[in-house]
Amino acid sequence: MKTIDIRPEEELLICCARTCLDQEKSRQIKSFVQKNIDWSFLIQTALNHGVVYLLYQSLKKTCPDSVPADVLNQLRDYSIANTLRNMSLTDELFQLLQIFESHNIPAVPYKGPVLAASVYGDIALRQFTDLDIIIHEQDILRAVELLISRGYSPEFRLNGVQGRFFIRLQRDCKFFHNNGKFITEIQWGVVQRYFPKIFDTEQLWERLEPVSIDGKNIKTFSPEDMILILCLHGYYHCWERLVWICDLAEFIRVHQNMDWKRITEKAHAGGYERILLLGLLLSNDILGSTIPEDVLQKTQIDRTVKSLAGHISKLLFAEHDLSSKAFKYFLLQINIWRRLG
């Protein structure tokens, strides 16, 4: 990780937060575990950043004998629990997609199981706690009825005058299953309407591509659209969790043949070029993503992007109480919107 000082546990976590380890990263991991590592701090940080399974897999592959047995056992238990939860959520996704299809409601899942299977190569390798499904705005009320009949309750009422106002103002609504296990977020837009830029979600439906999850083929967004969605999502949340940077890095690793010209032209035309460049710079600086030279050069010459990336990198592992850190991210988000919006 460039330019800032962080704890050895955090450096170790960054080395482990990837699905493919080269010789240099393996060497670094072996070197770090010989230091006086605070294993409890490392595990809690991995949990907070959504990369505990990647940590477990990397340590188990490179130097299992150098890690305390109780630490590996704890990581294994977390990983097993994560795998079981992910399997359950993935099965629920298939059920929901089947229900929507049977009622002629087009639905596109992304992130969660889709990202885990298509990018990480295994639904167990990425932590996720909910399902993200995009539908057309005109299908919202019918989808709500189907979800309620399946045992879900919406976070907000979506019927009546208040519901219509909510749908016009927002772009998503969470639904909580009465079994306490499932959270499904129904979305009818990629970003909120109060976002600095308008994102045309309807165009995404024209470029859907098939992916395979657990032997089942479903349709999701094209790589050229999805990379911008990942950058928008990270930008919206100020890139405060390592897993979102991992998502982008793994996505770039898997989709080496993306049409970068189309990506950058689309970002420029939509007013999202700096949002894209910010995500790419973080992915390159922190996890070493391979970015086309002409695109990487743009991240290096844009002082605004470099400045914001530096602020985000400093906050990524900053030790603050929750209220203090939340306030810092609030100020950073205002700064980002002003300078990138």
**Reported pTM:** 0.91
Asked if pLDDT for residue 339 goes beyond 90, the answer is: no
Asked if pLDDT for residue 320 goes beyond 80, the answer is: no
Given pLDDT bands bounded at 50, 70 and 90, which one contains residue 29? very high
User: Do 236 and 199 meet the contact criterion of CB atoms below 8 Å apart?
Assistant: no
How many whole angstroms separate alpha carbon 24 and alpha carbon 30? 10
pLDDT (tens digit, 9 = 90+) per residue, 92-107? 999 999 999 999 999 9
pLDDT score at 314:
87
Given pLDDT bands bounded at 50, 70 and 90, which one contains residue 298? very high
- Among 244-253, 263-272, 281-290, the minimum mean pLDDT is found in 263-272
pLDDT score at 280:
97
Q: Where are the domains of the chain?
A: 1-67, 84-221, 222-341
Asked if pLDDT for residue 235 goes beyond 90, the answer is: no
CA angle 264, 172, 162 (to 5 degrees): 135
Look up residue 199 and give its two tokens.
């994102």
pLDDT score at 101:
97
3-state secondary structure 190-259: CCCCCCCCCCCHHHHHHHCEEEEECCEEEEECCHHHHHHHHHHHHHHCCCCCHHHHHHHHHHHHHCCCCC
pLDDT > 70 in the chain, percent:
90
**Mean pLDDT on 156-164:** 77
pLDDT (tens digit, 9 = 90+) per residue, 168-220? 778 889 999 999 889 999 999 887 665 656 677 888 899 999 999 988 999 99
Look up residue 322 and give its two tokens.
């929750």
CATH class belonging to 84-221: alpha beta
pLDDT score at 250:
97
To the nearest 5 percent, what fractions of the chain are helix, strand and coil?
60, 10, 30
Q: Please give the mean pLDDT across all residues of the chain.
A: 89
User: Do 51 and 249 meet the contact criterion of CB atoms below 8 Å apart?
Assistant: no
Look up residue 303 and give its two tokens.
């002082």
